A = this chain, B = another copy of it.
Amino acid sequence: MNLSRLCVHTITTKPLSIEDAAKLYSRENIAGITVWRDALEGRDIRATGDMIRAEGLEIVSLCRGGFFPQLTAGARKDAIDDNLKAIEEAAALGAPMIVLVCGAAPGQFLETSREQIREGIAAIEPYAKAAGIKLAIEPLHPMYADTRSAINTLAQANDLAEALHSPWVGVAVDVYHLWWDPTLEQEIKRCGSNLFAFHICDWRVPTRDILLDRGLMGEGCIPIAEIRGWVQETGFNGFDEVEIFSTEYWSGDQALFLQKIKQAYLNL
């Protein structure tokens, strides 16, 4: 285990500006960075991409597109427009991939939301292809099925990616969302070359907040190394992306947190 495949999401060190995050990650010899769109606010995106590369970091993906399900046709069109904007941003930044948090609208059946997700991704795929940007469908934990994603298992994400049948559409496997699934090993094997991204963190016991209490690798009950083994068996040789939302860690020193991330990663 070394740091050459370690990527950190900017949201993991949310208190830092993208400039400070890039400097810090670089100083700590972290190889990759996944940029959240909020970190780009008010920046020249192309220049920010250049700044990140000048720090020696590889841009792994842009987070996040998606949120296709909406109660009205107008809102669904707005969502598609926002995804097209994300594709432009990814191209300007020099990110080869966008992670899709697909969305859900609590005022309609999940099946309806799932259909709107399929339509939304189909609508943006030609633009992604033209821009050379991959789209990674990220299934989210079922506890987010109300408002964040109607795609809640890797089986669903695989079904969707296979139905859309494009080399530009694949899936993102996040251990936090999927670790509980008894079909996980077989569904990871099924991904094959559709496995575009791998996200890690841990599930705290107890989990004190439904959104903002993710743990550092090793702090919880997810068998991360085992899942990582399954991912690697598919031939995946991309980054291990650390994505932690944590009120606790965000309230502390971010440089120290990054040290802990590195150590936890090396201990996997």
Contact = CB atoms under 8 A, between A and B. Distances in A.
A112 B182 CA distance: 12
Interface stretch (A165-173, A190-198, A200-208, A244-252): A200-208
Contact of A146 (B107, B111, B147, B221): B221
Interface residues of A, number: 31
A127 interface: no
Interface in A201-248: 203, 205-210, 220-221, 223, 226
Contact of A143 (B156, B181, B207): B207
A142 B181 contact: yes
A143 B221 CA distance: 12
A145 B180 contact: yes
A106 interface: yes
A147 B205 CA distance: 8
Nearest to A151: B182
Contact of A142 (B107, B143, B155): B143
Interface string A35-62: 0000000000000000000000000000
A140 B58 CA distance: 40
Interface in A174-190: 179-182
A141 B152 CA distance: 12
Contacts of A153: 182
A97 to B, nearest CB: 25
A106 B142 CA distance: 19
A127 B48 CA distance: 68
Contacts of A205: 106, 146-147
A16 interface: no
Nearest to A104: B221
Contact of A223 (B109, B156, B179, B208): B109
Given A106-B221, A114-B182, A142-B180, 13 more contacts: A106-B205, A109-B226, A110-B179, A111-B182, A141-B142, A142-B142, A143-B210, A146-B205, A146-B206, A146-B207, A146-B220, A155-B182, A210-B210
19 contacts: A106-B205, A106-B221, A109-B223, A110-B179, A110-B180, A110-B182, A111-B182, A141-B142, A141-B143, A142-B143, A143-B210, A145-B179, A145-B180, A146-B206, A146-B207, A146-B220, A146-B221, A152-B181, A207-B210
